[in-house]
Amino acid sequence: MYDSDNDDDPIVSRRALLQASAGTVGLSAVGSVRADGADGGTEAEVARQFDRDCPDATIEPGMAHCEGTTAEGCTDDHPATTELQSAVDDALESQYPDVDALLDAGYKPYFDTLESGDDSWSHWLSPEFIGDDEVLAPERPESVLVDNDSWRSIGVMFIATRDGESVEPPAVYGEDEAAAEARCSPWHAHTGLPGRFAWWFYQQTYEQDYREGDLEFPCQTPCMLHVWTVDHPESVYAHDAPPAESRDLPPADDPEFDTDAVPGEDELGWDVLPDEVVPDRTPDEFGLPEPFGIGF
């Protein structure tokens, strides 16, 4: 978060944030070519232009299994799954139940859409937990997933980092099993522009990597893993959010911060949060038009 009243914390310029690593084109340029198809700008051609050093990257949303991981052995009724989901549920209920608690715990909001037009849920990220040395710790989730209608937490997204750097993720269970079908390690990384932009935005906005001269746009995100605490028809570990009927939750209590918005009546978004937690430039100001969406 940038504080325009603090001379020691200069606001990063829009121009600086759009100067990604050498050999790439500006995000707004990619969006305009993809949107109107001018100059023969097919998706593949734009991808080559934007990601000359990232052969697996895509312009549209895209994911890939992290190396050595598999979801073949994952079942919702496996004891390790139920234990992990229960521990996550306990942590959310006791420590991170709603937006007020997340702000108090130092989480930073990120409003995005993984699928075009789906803005019904949001990611809240913890610089402290992303920067620590623990992975897959239910009481210290790197990201909490929030329903934007009720303003309540509905799951977590673990991010495989130590000291802020990507690491090999652990299996949920079956680490010692030789057969892949007996292991559950459903970690994925984002190779598509939307997810990679989301991670880059987090690093620049909240980690302030630009201060060290690091504006490089990543080829992929760190490995990530969702664990939902509300019923999900696909899986506890599903990437997409549960359908609305699975998120029919009572609204959170009225927030303690100053806002006219009311949980359950007003949608959670940048416009209802206090100014001190809203970045100077939000993701939708960076010129990525539909149909990209921006999200993890």
pLDDT digits (tens, 9 = 90+) for 153-212: 999 999 999 999 999 999 999 976 556 668 999 999 999 888 998 999 999 899 887 777
pLDDT tops 70 at residue 46 = no
Residues β-bridged to residue 228: 155
Q: What does the mean pLDDT of the chain come to?
A: 81
Range with lowest mean pLDDT among 1-10, 187-196, 285-294: 1-10
Q: Which amino acid is at 63?
A: M
Has residue 45 been placed in a domain? no
Residue 215: the pLDDT is: 80
Has residue 25 been placed in a domain? no
Preceding amide of 274 cis, omega within 30: no
pLDDT tops 90 at residue 33 = no
pLDDT tops 60 at residue 4 = no
Provide the domain limits for residue 191: 58-281
% of the chain at pLDDT higher than 70: 75
pTM for the whole thing? 0.83
Residue 282: the pLDDT is: 86
% of the chain at pLDDT higher than 90: 57
| Number of domains, the chain | 1
Has residue 72 been placed in a domain? yes
* Residues contacting 92, CB < 8 A, separation 6+: 144, 153, 155, 156, 229
Residue 154: the pLDDT is: 98
Has residue 192 been placed in a domain? yes
pLDDT tops 70 at residue 134 = yes
Confidence of residue 53 (pLDDT cuts 50, 70, 90): confident
Confidence of residue 20 (pLDDT cuts 50, 70, 90): very low
The Cβ of residue 262 has, within 10 Å, a number of other Cβ atoms equal to: 13
In tens, the pLDDT along 231-241 reads 999 999 999 88
Has residue 286 been placed in a domain? no
Has residue 189 been placed in a domain? yes
Residue 224: the pLDDT is: 98
Has residue 16 been placed in a domain? no
Residue 19: the pLDDT is: 46
* Helical residues (DSSP H) of the chain, grouped into ranges: 14-18, 27-36, 43-50, 79-94, 99-104, 127-130, 193-205
Range with lowest mean pLDDT among 10-19, 127-136, 143-152, 232-241: 10-19
Has residue 36 been placed in a domain? no
Residues β-bridged to residue 110: 123
As given in the structure block, the two tokens for residue 280 are 């100077």
- Top pLDDT among 19 and 281 is at 281
DSSP letter for 202, please.
H
In tens, the pLDDT along 88-125 reads 999 999 999 999 999 999 999 998 754 445 568 999 99
Mapping DSSP to helix (H, G, I), strand (E, B) and coil, where does residue 258 land? coil
76-84 own/partner pairs: CB under 8 Å, 24+ apart: 76/235, 76/236, 78/173, 78/184, 80/172, 80/173, 80/184, 81/172, 81/173, 81/184, 81/236, 81/237, 84/136, 84/138, 84/172, 84/227
Residue 111: the pLDDT is: 87
For the chain, report the end-to-end CA distance as a whole number of angstroms: 19
**DSSP β-ladder status, 165-166 and 224-228:** unpaired
